[in-house]
Amino acid sequence: MNSLNDLPTPAALLDRARLEANIARMQRRADALGVALRPHVKTAKCVEVATLQRAAGARGITVSTLKEAEAFFAAGFDDILYAVALPPNKVDAALALVRAGCALRVVVDSLAAAQALVALARGARQRLSVMIEIDSDGHRAGVAAESEALIAIGHHLHDGGMDLCGVMTHAGSSYDCTSPQALVAMAEQERARTVRAAERLRAAGLPCPVVSVGSTPTALAAGHLAGVTELRAGVYAFFDLVMTGVGGHGVCGLADIAMSVLTSVIGHQADKGWILVDAGWMAMSRDRGTQAQAVDWGYGAVCAADGTPLPGLVLRGANQEHGIVHAEGEAACDPDTLMMRYPVGSLLRILPNHACATAAQHDSYRIVDGDRVTARWARFGGW
C-alpha cells in the first residue's frame, strides 16, 4: 500500500516532513533557552514519534498515563515523568516500573496524596522520585508557590524517605491567551511562580534540583527561562488548529500541522452547499477548541488530498460517522459545480482542532510523503 487511494477511510495521516520540522523547531527553542526538553508524548502515544524527538536531542519523556509509561519503558525509554497527580490505587504500578529499572518520577499536589504515597512506598520498602505540582495560573491542579502546603508536602516526602526531586507546572491557561503580549506574560508567570516555589523549598532546607515548566504556547513565547532546568511541551510535534489561533496570531500556521484525517466524499446535499464525508466525530473527536478563537474551524479545516488548504470548506457538522463539510464564502457554488468539484469517492484531508483528541480516535498513523504512504506507525490508548 503506497498511495492515499489505497487507504481505507477515515485514516489518520502524519506528514513526516512537517513532523520532523516541528520537532526540530522546539528542540532549537529549548537549546536557545538553555534548558532540557522533555517532550510530552501523550499527543502521539507512538514510539516512532518519540524516537524522532530523542534523536533530535530530547532528554527523557513526559507521559499522562501509566500505560504510556509501561509501553515506552518497554521500548527503551527509561527516563519518564508521569505528569498527573498519583492516587493511591496507582502507586503499586509505579513501584513496579521502578523495580524494573525505570527512572520514573511521579507527581503529587496535596499533603493527603503525599501521605498516602509515602505510606505505600515505605510499606513496599521502595523509594520513589516525586515532584510537587505547582499551580501557576489557576487553571487546573497544583499548589500555590507561596502556600504553606508546598512546604508541608515537601517535608513529608523528604522526611518520609522519598526522593524529592523538584517542582513542575503546566500553564494550561496559555491556550486562552488572545494576544502575543498576553502569551508572553503567561510564559513569564509560569516561569516566575515555579522558580519561586523551588526557592521556597530550598530555603526550607529541602532539595529541589529540577524545575520543570511547559506548554507548547509558553515554550514558544518565553523570553527567558532563568531558574528553570527543563521544558515540557507535547502538541508541538503535530500542532493543530487551536495552536493556529492561540495568542491571537497563533504559534504555528496551517502549513505546520503535521496530522490530518483522510476522508472520502460519500454524498452531497448540494442545494445546502454540503459535502458529506465519512469522517464524523468518531474520526475527528467532539473537540470544538477553536470556538472561542477568532476563527472557528467547526470540527476541522478541509484540505485537498495533497494537503493544500481549501479556503471556504469547513467541517461544520459531525455525527458519529458522517461529517458535513460546508462550502462557504468564495467556495460556495451552484449544486452541479459542487458535485463536480468534489465527486463521490474523492479524497479530502481534515486538519484537527485538537491533535491529542483526534489522534485518540485512531489506532495507527499512516506516514505520508506527498501522496505516497511510506509506513504505518502503531498508536496505543488506554490507562
- The Cα 260–Cα 51 span in angstroms is 21
Q: How many Å apart are CA 58 and CA 67, to the nearest integer? A: 21
pLDDT at 2 over 90: no
Give the separation between CA 277 and CA 317, rounded to whole angstroms: 10
What structural domains does the chain harbor?
Answer: 16-237 (3.20.20.10), 258-351 (2.40.37.20)
In one-letter notation, the amino acid at residue 83 is A
* Mean of per-residue pLDDT scores for the chain: 96
Three-state DSSP class for residue 147: coil
260-317 residue pLDDT tens: 999 999 999 999 999 999 999 999 999 999 999 999 999 999 999 999 999 999 999 9
CB 324 within 8 A of CB 284: no
Element (H, E) at 353: none
Q: What is the pTM of this model?
A: 0.96
The residue-averaged pLDDT of 143-171 equals 98
- In whole angstroms, give the CA distance from residue 43 to residue 41: 6
Distance between CA atoms of 266 and 279, rounded to whole angstroms?
10
Please list, in sequence order, all residues whose beta carbon lies within 8 angstroms of the beta carbon of residue 222, skipping any fewer than 6 positions away.
33, 184, 187, 188, 190, 191
Report which secondary-structure segment, H or E, holds 371: none
Q: Taking 80 as the threshold, does the pLDDT of residue 183 lie above it?
A: yes
- Residue-level pLDDT at 1: 58
pLDDT in tens, 81-138: 999 999 999 999 999 999 999 999 999 999 999 999 999 999 999 999 999 999 999 9
Task: Give the bridge partners for 13, in sequence order.
Answer: 260, 366
Question: Is the separation of the CB atoms in 241 and 352 below 8 Å?
Answer: yes
* pLDDT tier at 371, thresholds 50, 70, 90: confident
Question: How many residues comprise the chain?
Answer: 383
pLDDT tens-digit series, residues 7-63: 999 999 999 999 999 999 999 999 999 999 999 999 999 999 999 999 999 999 999
